[in-house]
Amino acid sequence: TDHSSLVHGAVIGMDNEGVLLCARGQRGKSTLTVLSLFKGAEYVSDDYLVLEKDKDGNIFASPIYSIITLSPFMTEKMKDNLVGAKKLGENARKDKYVFNITSKHNQFRKNYPIKMLMFPEIVEDEEPYIREATAAEKGRAITQLIHSTTSQMSDTVDKTVTLKIIKMVSDFPCFYFGLSKDVNKNSDYLINFMKSKKQ
């Protein structure tokens, strides 16, 4: 609709304050989001979601399905967390496994308010870090959100989709997230960051 858009991204949050992770595929969004879910965060989606703007200009995210997706590598790495999860098969691109994780559905959210953007990138640092994004980094975050969305949905020539997404997300504060090689450190750091924003 004029006030909603399907996007390829991820949303995780804490106490009704959502973080929209903006990055192309294979950049660690699903791993970060799903691990954060396992550690107690509120979860909307790690893959596709709907962004919708209300009459007051607030943006809300909703999932289009209640599953999680993980690469085969991360599935093996997270197998202890996936005890009880039902493997449903593979996604359409055949690059991820799809799981029903009913035991965590109490943490799944819809119509979840977005409060910030986050631009995750894998860095060489031993420890993860989050800082305010520069204007250029925020531009890259939004560009990657749009590119990932349009390329996966074959809307590459539809300028209305691009402009609609830009209008929806451009006013949010944006943070750069330097991801270490340690995925558990990354999810712990994100959860602590979200908690600190509530204080």
pLDDT digits (tens, 9 = 90+) for 108-141: 999 999 999 999 999 999 999 999 999 999 999 9
Cα–Cα distance, 183 to 153 (Å, whole number): 28
Which residue bears the tokens 């929806």? Answer: 168
Strand-pairing partners, residue 48, are 8
Which residue bears the tokens 């799981």? Answer: 99
Whether 67 contacts 99, CB under 8 Å: yes
Identify residue 158 by its one-letter amino acid code. Answer: D
Q: Which of 116, 163, 170, 165 is nearest to 139 (CA)?
A: 170
**Phi-psi category of 103—alpha, beta or left, where left has phi over 0 and alpha has psi -120 to 50?**
alpha
Cα–Cα distance, 112 to 59 (Å, whole number): 8
The shares of helix, strand and coil residues in the chain, as percent rounded to the nearest 5, are: 35, 35, 35
Q: Please say if the pLDDT value at position 78 is more than 90.
A: no
| pLDDT on residue 66 | 86
Taking the CB of residue 139, how many other CB atoms lie within 10 A of it? 14
- At 25-43, the pLDDT tens digits run 677 788 999 999 999 999 9
- At 91-108, the pLDDT tens digits run 877 888 999 988 889 999
Identify residue 191 by its one-letter amino acid code. Answer: I
Cα–Cα distance, 122 to 64 (Å, whole number): 28
Q: Please say if the pLDDT value at position 166 is more than 90.
A: yes
| pLDDT on residue 199 | 59
Cα–Cα distance, 198 to 196 (Å, whole number): 5
Whether 92 contacts 29, CB under 8 Å: no
Sign of the alpha-carbon dihedral angle for 11, 181, 97, 99: negative
Maximum alpha-carbon separation in the chain:
44
- At 151-160, the pLDDT tens digits run 877 655 578 8
